[in-house]
Amino acid sequence: MASKKSLSPSPQVIFVPTPIGNLGDITLRAIDTLRSVDLIACEDTRHSLKLLNHLEISKPLLSLHDHNEQDRIPELLERAARGETIAVISDAGTPCLSDPGHRFLKACHDQGLPFTVLPGASAITTALVASGFPPHPFSFHGFLHVKKGKRSKQLEAALTTPETTLFFESPHRLPSTLEILRELAPDHPLCVARELSKAFETVHHGTAVELCHFFAERKVRGEIVLLIPAPATPARSDAH
């Protein structure tokens, strides 16, 4: 039987998006939440402290990252069950999307612990809209694989799927990734969205060949979203 989940109006755990670059992009609701909770679980306490100091918010912080999330869950569940309210944030954007939080959220769901998720900043949707590629259907696959062989298979699949595909990529691997795309489909259009919402935001369009050449000649920095649109549908002939 299908289950129905109603998000509680008074949740014990609140997943809060934070800005992906521009600190002005945090919502009023997110600020109010961070001010009201008892504890903030964050990916990097030093990084999050900068945001909290900017907002003039002082709260206890607890690290919650990929390497300790599973071990932290029992403590967090226990504290929430005792009545503490907990905000979960990542370094940037919405928790759980290629960031810590999903395992804790699932544990809250499984334990029947009231939680809610606030809307807010996400590099995924920002890049999708900025690219100008068809926004639906689309799929997001997180970070491309570190190993070149597996990365090639991911990219090959993206080049043939009937949807816009998004990946996160590290700046030092981007030239290698574009080289793979150049070899697989030199004329396929691509978009590289970099440093979204920040002072040096850039959104680059071009074929795999063009972008491979462009980024090969430059030192790449910053957070990157790579977008690959679906293959163009051949035009139908009106001839009979």
Average pLDDT of the segment spanning 153-178? 97
How far, in Å, CA of 132 to CA of 187, rounded? 18
Instruction: Kindly state whether residue 240 falls inside one of the protein's structural domains.
Output: no
- Residue 10's pLDDT is 79
Average pLDDT of the chain to the nearest whole number:
93
Work out how many domains the chain is built from and give that number.
2
Q: Which residue has the higher pLDDT, 169 or 6?
A: 169
Instruction: Kindly state whether residue 7 falls inside one of the protein's structural domains.
Output: no
Q: Provide the terminal-to-terminal Cα distance of the chain, rounded to the nearest Å.
A: 52
Q: Which of residues 91, 117, 143 is at a domain's end? A: 117
Does residue 86 sit in the same domain as residue 103? yes
Please answer whether residues 65 and 109 qualify as being in contact, where contact means their C-beta atoms are separated by less than 8 angstroms.
Answer: no
Question: pLDDT band for position 89 (50/70/90)?
Answer: very high
Report which DSSP code applies to 105.
Answer: H
What domain range is 153 assigned to? 123-228
pLDDT in tens, 1-57: 455 555 444 789 999 999 999 999 999 999 999 999 999 999 999 999 999 999 999
For the domain that residue 22 is a member of, what is the CATH number? 3.40.1010.10
- Residue 237's pLDDT is 41
pLDDT in tens, 176-233: 999 999 999 999 999 999 999 999 999 999 999 999 999 998 899 999 999 999 998 5
Does residue 96 sit in the same domain as residue 131? no
